[in-house]
Chains A and B, each alone.
Chain A
Amino acid sequence: MATTSPDVRRGGRSILERSPAARRADPLFRGILTGLAGLILVLIAFFFVFLINKAEPALSHQGVFSFLFTNDWNPSKAIYGAWPLVAGTLLTAFIALLIGVPVAVAAALFITELAPRRVRGPLVILVELLAAVPSVVYGLWGFFVLIPKLKPAEQWFADTFSFLPLVGGNVAGPNYFIAGLILAIMILPIVSAISREVISTVPADLKEASLALGATRWEMIRMAVLPYSRSGITGAAMLGLGRAIGETIAVTLVIGNSPVLGKQIFDQGYTLAAVIASEFGEAANDRVHAGALIAAGLVLFILTLLINAMARALVRRAENKGTNVKAVPGGLG
């Protein structure tokens, strides 16, 4: 009984069926988008291969281990021992975390748990504004304001606390500490923002429970909020570490760019990123020197990849933990 089918047929196919051209459009569209996504993976793989390839002249000249741990950076004699740069990078990043993370976490806790609702929004915006200031402007400010203004205080600190390791002696204008301080300011917004995100996933019933047991606000923070968000805050600090390690221009302007490893935190120094920025000009015609700078970039690349991968895993785990627990609606907030 073919009663309806002839009516809905047009050129041998149902009107509900798409034309062959229209049918090809969907796979094509999907193909293009998949291609773009795949291109990202290709790009990153290409990054690696290319940087390794270009760093090879220096790495085979010096040896990978010797490149990382020899304390002698002397391009004019073709000696590329990057330890002064590696140590400078680690030291400045460490100072940045030491100063930046407690302040960032304090700000995050204050904004999410203590501040009156009205001032939360404005405070968030103000802290995030720190991220809008470009690196070179921090460098400019550090160079002309921080270095001269802080020098007396640094000298006093160096004289008074000379019993501490890495402290004492004469304070140089540009130094590791200033670089670390600038980095602390630069990582503040990201560490604070992610800590805030993590802290806001702490279930309200946990907080309410601790208050119901008679805890003060601080005790609630110490016993409910902090333990719950510890791994997320660690992740946030590590993201800050990744930023601090790779930050270039601001550090280049305030660290003094001395290839000799300093003896204390108020000495001039160098970092991996700073050496790339300040020596690439002279290295353009020297394959080994250029290779050494690219190798420095490669070290930065690998270091930040590892740190970020770990940090992301920590933050993601912390956030998922938060969303899996059903929060009581209309809780403390």
Chain B
Amino acid sequence: MTALGQLTPRRRITDRVMRIVLAIGTAIALIPLIAVIYYLLSKGLGAWSIDLFTKDPTGNFLGDQGGIKSALLGTIEMVALASAIAIPFGWGVALYLVEYGRKGRFASTVRYFVDVMTGVPSIVFGLFVYATLVLSGWGGSSFSGWKGSVALALLMLPVVTRSAEVVLLLVPDALREAALALGTPRWRVTLRVVLPTALPGLVTGSLLAVARAAGETAPLLFTAAAVNGTTFNLGERMNSLPVQIYNDVQSPSDALVQRAWGSALALVTLILLTTLVARLASRRSRLS
């Protein structure tokens, strides 16, 4: 770079203008957020009522449409099962990568594919579960809650693994070496020293994956499908908030559209609460 010489008025104006342009760009980025929140609150809050949360959808063509109880519970159940699959699996893979694999060729391959998996569209996971488990009618019924959970778990897995790996890498090696020097076997070092130290960070990453899974429609659309009634049997068709919203949006009835706004506000609230808990968990971390 050569010296730039005198600060001419032209250069000063360019600087001003470009600063303003960048600030305007940032403002534009925030417009959709404000607009979405505004409409969610103004249309969604009006649709909230006790009935919305305590009644199942009726599926009637006319008259009372009912609420979203089954969808809310279905989302919670399926996301819970998906987390029960994806979180231990993802933590296990991350532990392998950090504690054993490190920079080996196998570990690098796994790491690479986990990275690549984060970019696979959610509908492909849904399609995969549809092709393997639903079309073949595995486990009796074709569409069922647990199949939705499997699709969600596949979606969560790379997110959980990547975030866990980042946190585990922050655990200082001195801690591992101290434990090993005391004669602790490797597996106990991993489970009793590394894992507890990294726990708050692991929880944060996993909860963010949970929040992402809770909002996904595409993988559930053709794995768990939709149903009106509440069920606690994961072997049956199961309703979920995103699918309920998707179906309501496409209906011509004003009452259903209103319910869609109410459900959307409920879904976003659920996701934001999960995100908030995730952030609070990370405050307890003593790493980094």
Interface residues of A (CB under 8 A from B): 16, 18, 22, 25-26, 28-30, 32-34, 36-41, 43-44, 47, 50-51, 54, 102-107, 109-111, 114-115, 123, 126-127, 129-130, 132-141, 143-145, 185, 188, 192, 209-210, 213-219, 221, 223, 239, 242-243, 245-249, 253, 273, 276-277, 280-281, 284, 290, 293-294, 297, 300-301, 304-305, 307-309, 311-312
B120 touches A305 (CB 8 A): yes
Nearest 5 pairs between A and B by C-beta?
A: A246-B121, A106-B25, A134-B215, A308-B119, A29-B187
Alpha-carbon distance between A136 and B265 when the two chains are bound, in angstroms: 11
B186 touches A135 (CB 8 A): no
> Pick the contact of B36 from A32, A138, A218 — CB < 8 Å?
A138
Question: A99's closest neighbor in chain B, by CB?
Answer: B28
B4 touches A192 (CB 8 A): no
Q: Please name all residues of chain B whose beta carbon is closer than 8 Å to the beta carbon of A281 when the two chains form the complex.
A: 222
A288 to chain B: closest CB distance in Å? 14
A50 touches B29 (CB 8 A): no
Q: Please name all residues of chain B whose beta carbon is closer than 8 Å to the beta carbon of A294 when the two chains form the complex.
A: 127, 131
Q: Please name all residues of chain A whose beta carbon is closer than 8 Å to the beta carbon of B15 when the two chains form the complex.
A: 216-219
Question: B109's closest neighbor in chain A, by CB?
Answer: A41
A293 touches B127 (CB 8 A): yes
A248 touches B132 (CB 8 A): no
A112 to chain B: closest CB distance in Å? 10
> Pick the contact of B116 from A50, A215, A280, A312 — CB < 8 Å?
A312
Q: Please name all residues of chain A whose beta carbon is closer than 8 Å to the beta carbon of B115 when the two chains form the complex.
A: 308, 312
Q: Is B245 an interface residue (CB 8 A)?
A: yes
Q: Is B5 an interface residue (CB 8 A)?
A: yes
Interface residues of B (CB under 8 A from A): 1-5, 7, 11-12, 14-15, 18-19, 21-26, 28-30, 32-33, 35-36, 39-40, 89, 92-93, 95-97, 99-101, 106-107, 109-110, 112-124, 127-128, 130-132, 135, 154, 157, 161, 183, 185-187, 190, 211, 214-218, 221-222, 242, 245-246, 249-250, 257, 260-261, 264, 267-268, 271-272, 275
Alpha-carbon distance between A246 and B216 when the two chains are bound, in angstroms: 13
A28 to chain B: closest CB distance in Å? 8
Given the interface pairs A50-B128, A213-B1, the reply to whether A36 lies near B89 with Cβ below 8 Å is yes
Given the interface pairs A134-B215, A141-B36, A214-B4, the reply to whether A248 lies near B121 with Cβ below 8 Å is yes
A246 touches B120 (CB 8 A): yes
B36 touches A134 (CB 8 A): no
A50 touches B271 (CB 8 A): no
> Pick the contact of B185 from A25, A276, A304 — CB < 8 Å?
A25
B245 touches A137 (CB 8 A): yes
Most buried by A among B24, B89, B112, B218: B218
A-B contact pairs, 13 of them (CB 8 A): A36-B96, A106-B22, A106-B25, A110-B26, A134-B215, A139-B246, A140-B245, A141-B35, A218-B18, A276-B123, A280-B222, A297-B123, A309-B116
Alpha-carbon distance between A248 and B219 when the two chains are bound, in angstroms: 10
Alpha-carbon distance between A36 and B74 when the two chains are bound, in angstroms: 28
B99 touches A33 (CB 8 A): yes
> Pick the contact of B131 from A50, A127, A277 — CB < 8 Å?
A50
